[in-house]
Structure 1
Amino acid sequence: MIPDLRQDRGQAFPIYVVMVAGLLFLAFAFFAVGQASATRNGAQGAADSAALAAAQRVREELGPKVLTALATPGGLDNIFNGIVIADAHNEAANFASKNHADLTGFESRAGGVGQFKFTAAVKTQYTVGTSVIPGTEDEHGTASATAMIELRCTLPSGGDGGNSPAPTPTSAPTPTPTPPPVTITCDGKDLPVDPVPALDKIFTVKLVD
């Protein structure tokens, strides 16, 4: 008896349909996962940008205060006192918006000696989008990041920037020597402060955990 091949093919067709449907579902599911990952990455990029912008804004603000701090005992240690947090907040919100996100949280706080930190939390203005996974059309990306501005410099030993007057001899008067130029030590290297070094040599800005 010859088998009915048409009947076999008819029985196999539903299996093929189910297999193709399953593969399509997996493909769409992987696409949805990719969309969600891209949204999270976008949120993290916006948070990083916002936190760094806040720290960089404060670094610009501190520029005019450097010379005053050098002439004040302990001035460098207290240089972060009185910074305008509102300006840093506005800068963070501005950069979050440029990255298509909204600033949902902002915190500023002192770190260790010569350090100040800013934490920005954001939510993307866009969603993951419609997918085979329910609810993704309403899901926004969220992330947070912390940036730190850190003083890289100290006064040389003596605390007066190298301007200590030479000891006056008791045996005979001598001409008053010309004081050496004021210097600061940044990352182990002495730098003159006339003209004032670039701010990125005095303060570093970086993302931290």
Structure 2
Amino acid sequence: MTAKLRGEAGQAFPIYVVMVAGLLFLAFAFFTVGKAAALRNGAQGAADAAALAAAQQSRAQFQGPFLASLPERMLDMFLQGHAVTGCPAAYAFAAENEAEVEYCHPPSTGSERDEISVGVKTLKPVGASVVPGMKRTFANGHATAVIEWRCPTWRSVDLNDDSIEDVYYFSCRGGEMLTIRTGEPLDWPRVSKILFDVHLVDS
């Protein structure tokens, strides 16, 4: 009887080994899938941050061209043709998030908003695992940010009757009002956030 039980135990042992090995394989596979998902989330976060940074940097660089457009009544032309040049900020923010920029596209011009699209790749791969191909698999993220004109209604006043506009009045979304006097210093960091909105959009 004892010999029979030992025989059955001996036959069952390989089955247990296979079951444990299978469970370990599944555990490592789930771990790898989870790590890959976390890496993708990190890549998307890096892309979002990079695109927003590029748009914000571009908005900050609008000051000179924007002010130059006011006295000559060229505001409409400025809105249709201003250039987004914030890609250096995208590279910096991607690096801070352990990613590298694969592309940073200048926008197509438009009358009320400009887009800037950024694609990034993580610097670190998923790493070695039981899932084939993961050792050299990197995660990618893509994001598009827009710089949108917030003040569709505006008017100008020539106070000196010299054909040069001296004061501009802007009516912006949310009921905000803004007055710009062309001969006075301008707090552009504050003013630019009133004139232009920066946000992410579906790409």
Aligned to 1:200: 193
- Deviation string, structure 1 residues 36-92 (Cα, Å, up to 9, x no partner): 11121121111111111111111101134444444443504523635363xx22221
- Deviation string, structure 1 residues 129-182 (Cα, Å, up to 9, x no partner): 1111122111111121111111101343xx32xx377xxxxxxxxxxxxxxx64
Which entry has the higher C-alpha Rg, 1 or 2?
Answer: 1
Aligned to 1:126: 124
Distance 2:2 2:14 in 1: 23
**Structure 1 gap ranges (5+):** 166-180
Q: Does 1:142 align with 2:128?
A: no
Instruction: Answer yes or no: is the 8 Å Cα contact 1:103–1:121 preserved in 2.
Output: yes
Distance 1:84 1:3 in 2: 83
User: What TM-score do the two structures reach when normalised by structure 1?
Assistant: 0.78
Aligned to 1:90: 88
Residues 10-89 of structure 1 mapped to structure 2, 5 A cutoff = 10-76=10-76, 78-79=78-79, 81-83=81-83, 85=85, 88-89=86-87
**Structure 2 gap ranges (5+):** 160-166
Shift in Å, 1:2 = 8.4
CA RMSD across the alignment = 2.6
Structure 1's consecutive aligned runs of 4 or more residues displaced over 6 angstroms after TM superposition are none
Aligned to 2:99: 101
The structure with the largest helix share of the pair is 2
Paired residue type of 1:184: F
User: What TM-score do the two structures reach when normalised by structure 2?
Assistant: 0.80
Instruction: Answer yes or no: is the 8 Å Cα contact 1:70–1:155 preserved in 2.
Output: no
